[in-house]
């Protein structure tokens, strides 16, 4: 039976993987950040030593895009140095790494979906820190999967879906940006893809794009959410072409899924 450690399991993706894992015969070990901090390499070494882990799923990340602009050092500590620590420990103990990255490694200037070989050029500190993590993993490991995904939502944690539902239920009128185009992606679908990678022996290592199909704006996503709420007026969701934020965000971040579809039959 394959043994899988999931780091950062208190986040929305980690918690979703835990839900999906109940249906699997794999042996999972889930660690919150308070139990295993990827910025503490000694703790990682101790956790992996004599563990017999076959796979490590790294869900641990500094994900607050706005705060990363003011707390750049903290973002890089987790997303870059932490990812490097995980990669080095996986290399030491011959554990295959599945690492979660982001569409924000791109600048958004393209007008067609980004492929895995397109030039990266992040325009905010969060994206820069995640890209550095990707580069460190590739430097220290050969057996890895880096999954770039976009606009994750789930039942857990803080995400756009839950925020919009809560605000609409409070009767708020929302001004949502139409500037950014991307693809909302369910953590359930991503969790199932991760589990597929663990169970499969045929999927080549490397970088993969993973998102749902199609595209929308944050405004379009909010409108769709409102449609599914009882007694909610879609007039509560209003478009705005300008929305002031500290962090620059790519205006177009669709991901090309061709490699995934060609390589992996079930996805």
> Could you write out the DSSP letters of every residue in 173-240?
-EEEESS-EE--EEHHHHHHHHHHHHH-S-SPPEEEE---SS-EEHHHHHHHHHHTSTT--GGGEEEE
pLDDT of 232 reads: 66
Question: What is the reported pLDDT for 13?
Answer: 98
Does the pLDDT at position 233 exceed 90? no
pLDDT at 261: 86
Q: How far is CA 208 from CA 38, 78, 158, 259, in A?
A: 23, 21, 25, 7
Is residue 38 assigned to a domain? yes
Using alpha carbons, list the distances in angstroms from residue 172 to 177, 228, 232. 16, 16, 11
Q: Considering its fold, how many domains does the chain have in total?
A: 1
Q: What is the mean pLDDT of residues 236-254?
A: 91
In percent, the amount of the chain with pLDDT more than 90 equals 87
Structural domain boundaries enclosing 62: 3-159+185-214+254-263
Q: For residue 177, what pLDDT is reported?
A: 95
Which pLDDT tens digit goes with each residue over 77-87? 999 999 999 99
Is 39 a member of any domain? yes
Which CATH number characterizes residue 53's domain? 3.40.50.720
- Whether 263 shows a pLDDT value over 90: the answer reads no
Query: How confident is the model at residue 266, as a pLDDT?
Result: 67
Q: Give dist(CA 233, CA 250) in Å, integer.
A: 30
- Rounded CA separation 43/51 (Å): 13
Helices 125-140 and 83-92, axial angle in degrees (round to 10): 10
Pinpoint the alpha helices (H) of 96-186. Answer: 125-140, 160-169
Candidates 29, 133, 122; CA nearest to 88 is 133
Average pLDDT over every residue of 217-230: 93
User: Are the C-beta atoms of 182 and 215 separated by less than 8 Å?
Assistant: yes
227 in any annotated domain: no
Alpha-carbon distance of 37 to 58, in angstroms, equals 11
Q: Which pLDDT score, from 0 to 100, does residue 32 have?
A: 95
Residue 74, judged by CB atoms within 10 A of its CB (0-12, 13-18, 19+), counts as: middle
Burial (Cβ within 10 Å: 0-12, 13-18, ≥19) of residue 195: buried
DSSP, collapsed to helix, strand or coil, labels residue 129 as helix
Per-residue pLDDT band at 106 (split at 50, 70, 90) = very high
- What is the average pLDDT across 47-57? 97
Most confident of the following: 18-27, 98-107, 233-242: 98-107
Question: Which neighbouring-strand residues pair with 153?
Answer: 186
Confidence of residue 245 (pLDDT cuts 50, 70, 90): confident
* 147-163: pLDDT as tens digits: 999 999 999 999 999 99
Domain for residue 87, yes or no?
Answer: yes
Residue 108: inside a domain: yes
């Amino acid at each position: 039976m394959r043994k899988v450690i999931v780091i950062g399991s208190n986040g929305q993706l980690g918690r979703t993987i835990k839900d999906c894992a109940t249906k699997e015969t794999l042996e999972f070990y889930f660690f919150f950040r308070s139990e295993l901090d990827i910025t503490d390499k000694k703790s990682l070494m101790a956790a992996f030593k004599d563990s017999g882990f076959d796979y490590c799923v790294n869900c641990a990340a500094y994900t607050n895009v706005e705060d990363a602009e003011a707390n750049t050092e903290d973002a890089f500590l987790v997303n870059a140095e932490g990812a490097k620590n995980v990669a080095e420990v996986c290399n030491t103990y011959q554990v295959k790494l599945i690492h979660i990255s982001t569409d924000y490694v791109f600048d958004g200037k393209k007008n067609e979906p980004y492929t895995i070989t397109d030039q990266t050029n992040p325009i905010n500190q969060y994206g820069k820190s995640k890209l550095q993590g990707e580069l460190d993993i590739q430097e220290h490991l050969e057996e890895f999967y880096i999954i770039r995904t976009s606009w994750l939502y789930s039942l857990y944690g803080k995400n756009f879906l839950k925020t919009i539902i809560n605000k609409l239920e409070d009767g708020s009128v929302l001004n949502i940006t139409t500037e950014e185009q991307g693809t909302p992606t369910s953590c359930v679908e991503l969790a199932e893809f991760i589990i597929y990678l663990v169970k499969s022996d045929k999927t080549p290592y490397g970088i993969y794009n993973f998102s749902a199909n199609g595209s929308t704006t944050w405004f379009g996503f909010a409108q769709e959410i409102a449609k599914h709420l009882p007694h909610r007026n879609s007039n509560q969701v209003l478009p705005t072409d300008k929305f002031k934020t500290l962090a620059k965000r790519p205006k177009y971040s669709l991901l090309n899924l061709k490699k995934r579809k060609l390589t992996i039959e079930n996805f």
